[in-house]
Amino acid sequence: MLDFIKNNSFILLYTFFLGLVPLVASSSISYWVILHEAEIHSYSLATCMGLVILSCLTMAFAFTPTTFVALLGGYFWGWASVVPLAISYFVASFIGYRAAGFIDGGNFMKNLLQQKPKAGELIEKLKQDEFKIILFARLSPVLPFAVTNVLFSFSKTKMRNFLTAGFIGMLPRTLLSVWLGSQAKEIKRLIEHPSEGAVSQFAFMGLILVSVFGLVWVAKKII
């Protein structure tokens, strides 16, 4: 186990980085957005498109959580933000997947199979239902977007399944976040209490439960 950690220290640190950075980055961005709310409302179409392109990179490398971006999109541009958000998620997924594969170079799986041969057998079985696994993992508002990109890249899931199932899984939580953003009266309150209200809390809990039960169901069926 120690050898496995030593051989994969860089990629493990990279994954930890992807899980930690959103907390710091989103706080800083939130402060800036609150100060410049009026200015953002007056942004031109070209500026908005530039932000969409930038968000592809910030989400891929965990500087901005996907839910956070969808909330802001819903607040400033309402339902018109759904299509640009969906496209940016798709592109960010591709970038995150490819970046993880480039950084790792297949070493993680190779070292895992050397240390834990049975883990390789389990992963191969999971690949039989990888579409469902990706779908349920993306459905959860709790699992970090950038971290799941890395995990699915490590396990060598098919790119077509990764992008298609990921896109479908992201839609419910995206629509929910955009709706919450569009209903918010103040940007500060939205950022500080993103899931305020009984309806939104039940909706988020529902997505989490469906995701968890779905992943458990698939795992039990395979094992």
In the 3-class helix/strand/coil scheme, how is the chain assigned residue by residue?
CHHHHHHCHHHHHHHHHHHHHHHHHHHHHHHHHHHCHHHHHCCCHHHHHHHHHHHHHHHHCCCCCHHHHHHHHHHHHHHHHHHHHHHHHHHHHHHHHHHHHHHHCCHHHHHHHHHCHHHHHHHHHHHHHHHHHHHHHHHCCCCCHHHHHHHHHHCCCCHHHHHHHHHHHHHHHHHHHHHHHHHCCCHHHHHHCCCCCHHHHHHHHHHHHHHHHHHHHHHHHHC
- How large is the average pLDDT for residues 54-58? 92
- How large is the average pLDDT for residues 33-46? 91
The larger pLDDT score, comparing residue 56 to residue 147, is at 56
- How large is the average pLDDT for residues 139-147? 83
Check whether 62 has a pLDDT greater than 70: yes
pTM of the predicted model over 0.85: no
Whole-number pLDDT of residue 203: 86
Residue 120: pLDDT band by 50, 70, 90 thresholds? low
- How large is the average pLDDT for residues 80-95? 94
Residue 4: pLDDT band by 50, 70, 90 thresholds? very low
